[in-house]
Amino acid sequence: MSHVQPTKPPRYSSTYEDGTYQYRHVILDKSMLTTIPNTRLMNEYEWRALGIQQGPHWEH
């Protein structure tokens, strides 16, 4: 995964729940599109390296 400096910081949706899990959408700048894998989920190290800030135990 190559490192690209975003031109805008991530934006975060409000959280919502389904009774089991809590969800939040993270909207990244289009310049980050080439750094995000589309064949698998990212691990915590990868999404934190993109500047995404979530509390512990969040999963992509």
As a whole number of angstroms, the distance between CA 11 and CA 17 comes to 19
What are the extents of the domains in the chain? 1-60
pLDDT score recorded for residue 10 = 93
- Which CATH number among 3.90.1560.10, 3.30.43.10, 3.30.170.10, 3.30.70.330 corresponds to the domain 1-60? 3.30.170.10
Check residue 3 and give its pLDDT: 60
Instruction: Please state the rounded mean pLDDT for residues 33-58.
Output: 89
Rounded to an integer, the average pLDDT of 24-52 is 91
Predicted pLDDT at 6: 59
Q: What is the pLDDT of residues 38-47, one digit of tens each?
A: 999 999 899 8
Assess contact for 17 and 23: CB atoms under 8 A.
yes
Question: How sure is the predictor about 1, in pLDDT bands with cuts at 50, 70 and 90?
Answer: low
Nearest-5° Cα angle at 44, 33 to 35: 15
